[in-house]
Amino acid sequence: MSSNTFLDNPLAAGINEIRSYWGRFLALGIVTVALGVVCILYNAIATQVSLVVLAVVLMVSAIFSLALAIWIHNWNGFFMFFLNALLQGFTSYLIVRYPHQSTVGVTMVLASLFIVGGLFQTVTAGLLKFPAWLWSMLSGVISLALGILVLYKMQNASVFFLGLVVGIDLVLDGISFLAFATELHRIPKLTVYAPKAA
């Protein structure tokens, strides 16, 4: 989809107002990918993966997503970033608040994060069709699939497995943010939303 195709979609009205924030979306994408890579690498080198590390990674991602959501509050897509930040923040809080709970409990929380977040991201991207929406939809579908996988493995899930899944999910989210930032940057500054003539 070209950078201007979405301008004919009334649900995406307001995208021009956030065009100047493309650098912030780019920064969010870089940070999110980096957090995902850290999570995956930590799993690879640590003898015992700590739930606290997963919680910290999710919290940092939530803080960056929430800050961006506040900046773009006038755009319809705000809710996608805001809900993502709330879900990640709440999940990290539960992990830190109840650190001695069984892996099964943490697995349920993470599975809920992936399933609810993935469904919402997929539906929102499909409705708004903002720039690079296919990347966002793909990320949502994979998050949903990861959530189902985590539920399937619930009884046998290790913290290592959970850390790997969280890392993969963050990397995919980061890639969708990077694609969105790139497409935003390509939009001409003077482009104004105008509905198609009947």
Q: CA 168 → CA 142, 164, 177, distances in Å?
A: 9, 6, 14
User: Which of these ranges, 27-31, 71-75, 112-116, 165-169, has the smallest mean pLDDT?
Assistant: 71-75
State the pLDDT confidence band at 125, using cuts at 50, 70 and 90: confident
- Sequence-separated (6 or more) residues with CB below 8 Å from residue 111: 147, 148, 150, 151, 154
User: Which of these ranges, 95-104, 119-128, 174-183, 188-197, has the smallest mean pLDDT?
Assistant: 188-197
Maximum distance among all Cα pairs of the chain, rounded to whole angstroms: 64
pLDDT tens readout for residues 153-194: 877 777 778 888 888 999 999 999 899 889 888 877 644 444
pLDDT tens readout for residues 35-88: 899 888 887 665 455 777 788 888 988 898 888 888 877 776 677 778 888 888
Cα separation, 66 vs 179, in Å, equals 19
